[in-house]
Chains A and B, each alone.
Chain A
Amino acid sequence: MRSCAVEVEGLARHFGEREALDGVSISLAEGATLVVFGPNGAGKTTLLRVLAGLLRPHAGEVRVLGADLPQHAHAMRGRVGFIGHEPLLYRELTPRENLRFHARLQGVGDDRVEEVLGAVGIEGRAAEPLRSLSRGMVQRVAVARAALADPPLLLLDEPYANLDPAAVELLQPLIGRSADPARPRTRVICSHDPAGGLAEADAVLGLRAGRVALSSPAASTGAEEITELYR
């Protein structure tokens, strides 16, 4: 029986008076993919940041990769790949310099940097400052950064934003479903694309104003139910 990679019970998080998340519960098995839908401001990004240990939950219980958050967040550091709205890269550094910096923070060797640069198809521009690259190219580098340590959990906030279909295909070995059953890759993905999201999902979570408005297995969820969240 597969163990749970992410367990959330009654999660609440507020910013001042505003409730960003309220009573959210999730149970996600190792190797499974949860796709989170919801209109802007629904709480998707906040949920990912709580799961990454970047925000403290204000109520409820959160366990990620066996570590209770926020008390034992240190136990999951380096095992979570995170792609947020910002690429978490320095504009003045080149993709190679950025990835080498992150590799050192992750305890990963430079050979892995070259490997992921190749995997995202950016070797030819790896020596140019990040600020001179297009958004799509920067997003590829962000994916390479998140996948550097080959983490067992990926938290991806619109990971395919600014990417062309060929690039989306190219990045699948890094952030797609793991092809190696011995190294299952659990994923929580925020998306606004019902068809694309459903194709990747094992389960679907719909958020509206910080509350769970839809929760179902992907196989029994229709695109129209997701579209309904945005109305």
Chain B
Amino acid sequence: MSASAGATGTAAGATPRGTELQRAANAPRPQVPVLRTVGALMRKELLVELRTLESVPAMSLFSLTTFVVFHFALNRNVVEGDLAAGILWVTLLFAALLGMNRLFVADADQGGFDAFLLAPVDRSAMMLAKALTLLAYLVVFELVAVPAFGLLLLGPSLGHALPDLIGVLLLGDVGVAAIGTLVGAIAVRTRARDLLGPLLALPLFVPLVIGGARASSPLFGGGHAGAPAARWLLTMGLYDLVFGLIAYALFEFLLED
């Protein structure tokens, strides 16, 4: 059994002008440029975050609390070397999970995915926008977390370490943003998204923790004081590149039914 309506009849807009207009209406819509789409998505993300304050404040508060706990649990005013680097990177990555878990929630719960899929846009624009948004969250939250780390656990040595540390942190942030976007997009479509996100992301973050901690350990004094080892920076850069490409390649499939 089938439904059929108006399959025959006079052509709508049978005049030459009408036919022309109809043809224009029926032509495929041109795709919106990727950068314009990324800009629109990022603007929306930042507006929603400014209104809800769900991600960056939660990440900042988590890291502050964790540094206070370490301060008292270790019963030391100053940590250095591997221990300092380990505390910093583990705390930053756990805090990043909070931002990652919220990254797609508004889109999944309020129909943003459907609206995006209906628009004449390149699907990879959402991946880029989400990764850049998470990167922005990480940078803003580190503006709070890193000084707090210095104050509570590092003493006066943060000032000397800061220029090199910023570079190492940025390499880590790019990797976290790429992995977080990929994992967030997978987890948000599942019922146990709050559990699945961290379970998937943490193993993938391990190489970044190792690379970040090894690269920043010399910056925090101790026995191996000096500049970050180039091989760890290179490892982190390669890891960022690989996961950036994987996220780019897979993202469209993750959005599809």
Evaluate contact between B26 and A34: CB separation under 8 angstroms. no
Give A contacts to B, CB under 8 Å.
Answer: 1-2, 4, 8-9, 24-34, 52-56, 65-67, 74-80, 82, 84, 86-93, 97, 101-102, 104-107, 129, 145, 149, 152, 181-184, 201-205, 212-213, 215-217
CB within 8 Å for A2 and B9 given contacts A54-B257, A66-B26, A101-B40? yes
Evaluate contact between B13 and A104: CB separation under 8 angstroms. no
CB neighbours (8 Å) of A77 from chain B are 29, 117-121
CB within 8 Å for A92 and B48 given contacts A32-B5, A86-B114? yes
Evaluate contact between B1 and A215: CB separation under 8 angstroms. yes
Evaluate contact between B13 and A181: CB separation under 8 angstroms. yes
Nearest 10 interchain pairs by C-beta? A203-B5, A25-B2, A78-B120, A78-B29, A104-B40, A88-B111, A29-B6, A32-B6, A182-B13, A105-B119
CA distance A202 to B17 in the complex (A): 26
CB within 8 Å for A76 and B28 given contacts A88-B111, A202-B5? yes
B75 beta carbon closer than 8 Å to chain A: no
CB neighbours (8 Å) of B36 from chain A are 104
B30 beta carbon closer than 8 Å to chain A: yes
Evaluate contact between B11 and A2: CB separation under 8 angstroms. yes
CB within 8 Å for A54 and B114 given contacts A1-B8, A27-B3, A182-B17? yes
Evaluate contact between B5 and A84: CB separation under 8 angstroms. no
Evaluate contact between A27 and B7: CB separation under 8 angstroms. yes
Which of A8, A76, A93, A184 interacts with B44 by CB under 8 Å?
A93
Residue of A nearest to B29 (CB): A78
Residue of A nearest to B115 (CB): A88
Evaluate contact between B6 and A31: CB separation under 8 angstroms. yes
B22 beta carbon closer than 8 Å to chain A: yes
CB within 8 Å for A93 and B47 given contacts A27-B3, A32-B5? yes
Evaluate contact between B112 and A88: CB separation under 8 angstroms. yes
6 A-B pairs with C-beta separation under 8 A? A28-B6, A77-B117, A82-B114, A105-B37, A106-B120, A152-B25
B116 beta carbon closer than 8 Å to chain A: yes
Tell me, rounded to whole Å, the shortest Cβ–Cβ distance linking A143 to chain B. 14
CB neighbours (8 Å) of A213 from chain B are 1
Tell me, rounded to whole Å, the shortest Cβ–Cβ distance linking A212 to chain B. 4
Evaluate contact between A88 and B114: CB separation under 8 angstroms. yes
B12 beta carbon closer than 8 Å to chain A: yes
Evaluate contact between A2 and B51: CB separation under 8 angstroms. no
Tell me, rounded to whole Å, the shortest Cβ–Cβ distance linking A18 to chain B. 16
Evaluate contact between A79 and B21: CB separation under 8 angstroms. no
CA distance A29 to B4 in the complex (A): 8
Evaluate contact between A80 and B5: CB separation under 8 angstroms. no
B242 beta carbon closer than 8 Å to chain A: no
CA distance A219 to B245 in the complex (A): 56
CB within 8 Å for A107 and B120 given contacts A1-B11, A90-B48? yes
Evaluate contact between A86 and B110: CB separation under 8 angstroms. yes
Residue of B nearest to A149 (CB): B29
CB neighbours (8 Å) of A78 from chain B are 29, 118-120
CB neighbours (8 Å) of B117 from chain A are 53-54, 77
Evaluate contact between A89 and B110: CB separation under 8 angstroms. yes
Evaluate contact between A105 and B1: CB separation under 8 angstroms. no
Tell me, rounded to whole Å, the shortest Cβ–Cβ distance linking B179 to chain A. 25
B69 beta carbon closer than 8 Å to chain A: no
CA distance A97 to B112 in the complex (A): 14
Of A9, A82, A88, A89, most B-chain CB atoms within 10 Å: A88
Evaluate contact between A107 and B32: CB separation under 8 angstroms. yes
Residue of B nearest to A52 (CB): B118
CB neighbours (8 Å) of A86 from chain B are 110-111, 114
CB within 8 Å for A105 and B40 given contacts A54-B117, A183-B25? yes
CB neighbours (8 Å) of B6 from chain A are 2, 28-29, 31-32, 202-203
